[in-house]
Amino acid sequence: MPGIRLDLVSFADMSLERAQAVGRAFDAHPALRPVKVGGDPARIAVGSSLEAVITERGLPVEWSTVRRNNGDDFEGGEIVLLPGRGGWVGSRENGEWEYLLSGHHLRQHWLHEAAAATATVTEASGLFEDLSLAIDAAYGYLAADSPVPQAAGAIEAWLPGVFWLNYFGPAFLASRPALAGMKGARVLSNGGVLVQTSEVPWVTDPESTLRHEAELRDLFGEQAFTYMRPNPALPTTQDHLAVSVGTAEMPWVSWLHERTVADTTKRHAAARKRLETALGRREVEPLAQSAAEWSTSLDLGDWEPFAKHLGRALRGDLSGPIGRAVVAVVATAPPDEEDGVLVDTTMGTVRLGWFIDDVDTVDVYVFGSAQVHLVCEAWFDNES
């Protein structure tokens, strides 16, 4: 007799409170709760409360789970709960990066020895419902093992099949209200619907089971079970997000930001090193006592054109390695950085200073003669 397999996917805005609810769901069904969680192999003992372990460890939760491990008899799965909307993958298509949300996943498998007991089947269905609510699932199923298990993964591209107990999140119910009226259907408190196709996971009445499964397939249409992206027969990821309250920021946005910050920091350090090297190779006359301040605030995107204008007009240090290094230092500087350099120009010694207001704005200070000030003003005249 085959065992039972549970698979759920969610795009909910994951918080510690939601993750704790997953722990409470398992704790309410201790006969099916993992005994160990963690990496591969799982080494964290669960004890009497998975909720307590999750509370202690916090997010992210990326665990393999083990309920039984006696030689060839192995029961386990995985709990993947990531901050925000969950996991994601990126791929490059025609030179452009595309990002897909994969969300959060709960997967669990029980061997047929445990699954054969009627009480275990009832416990498993109760756990499945509790977990669906805990993570505000988008889709999932509880079913007898198949020779090739179908993962509830890319649910915007296809449905992996019709199973003993099927869960469809609110986005499915919104697109197919008839789900709520099907035989064996029950709408849950979060707006999702459970559809049970037979009394037990294993087929005891093939004719009745096939007829009930066919009704569900007919409701969706065969296109829903054929892999294609996008699949017009299914809710999109955005549809699932729209009915799940929480952040609109996708997880790859913060990753891209962190990568950009790290890259900018690296380039800033390199530019600083180039500037220090260039400044160390020359001497410059002190700034004239008559030098006066000229200042402006620029969008960071205007900084490089302005600096290049000064280099063309004032020449000297600004037209060589020092000028190029200053351009790079300011362009990559973090907010609140304030600094400046003395440079030799055809109009005498000039002090060029800067203060980074925020990621998009730089305050520029130029100390020099009235003629230098006219050069600065000329850039604005040319821009207008």
Residue-wise DSSP of 40-92: SS--EE-TT-HHHHHHHH-S-EEEEEEEEEETTEEEEEEEEE-SBT-EEEEEE
What would the mean pLDDT of 358-367 be, rounded to a whole number? 94
> Which of the residue ranges 167-181, 197-211, 212-226, 292-306 would you say has the lowest mean pLDDT?
197-211
pLDDT over 90 percentage in the chain: 77
d(C-alpha 137, C-alpha 190), whole Å: 9
What would the mean pLDDT of 41-64 be, rounded to a whole number? 96
Strand partners, 339: 354
Contacts of 161 (CB under 8 A, 6+ apart): 141, 143, 150, 225
* Amino acid letter, 172: F
Amino acid 114: pLDDT: 61
In this prediction, residue 14 has a pLDDT band, given cuts at 50, 70 and 90, of: very high
DSSP symbol at 122? H
What would the mean pLDDT of 54-73 be, rounded to a whole number? 92
Q: Which residue has the higher pLDDT, 282 or 221?
A: 221
From 37, 43, 30, select the one nearest 62 (Cα to Cα).
Answer: 37
> Which three-class secondary structure state does DSSP give residue 177?
helix
- Token pair in block for residue 188: 């849950």
Q: Where are the domains of the chain?
A: 4-249, 252-383
Amino acid 103: pLDDT: 96
Contacts of 255 (CB under 8 A, 6+ apart): none
d(C-alpha 344, C-alpha 82), whole Å: 54
Q: How far apart are the first and last CA of the chain?
A: 80
In this prediction, residue 306 has a pLDDT band, given cuts at 50, 70 and 90, of: very high
What would the mean pLDDT of 186-197 be, rounded to a whole number? 96
> What is the pTM for the complete model shown?
0.80
Output 175-182 pairs: Cβ under 8 A, ≥24 positions apart.
175/234, 175/235, 175/239, 176/219, 176/220, 178/219, 179/219, 182/215, 182/216, 182/219
In this prediction, residue 93 has a pLDDT band, given cuts at 50, 70 and 90, of: confident
In this prediction, residue 290 has a pLDDT band, given cuts at 50, 70 and 90, of: very high
Residue 182's region, left for phi above 0, alpha for psi from -120 to 50, else beta, is beta
> Which of the residue ranges 18-22, 118-122, 171-175, 290-294 would you say has the lowest mean pLDDT?
118-122
Beta strands in the chain (DSSP E): 4-10, 36-38, 44-45, 61-70, 73-81, 87-93, 96-110, 139-144, 165-168, 185-187, 193-196, 292-299, 338-345, 348-358, 361-368
Amino acid 383: pLDDT: 72
Read off the pLDDT of residues 46-55 as tens digits, 9 standing for 90 and up. 999 999 999 9
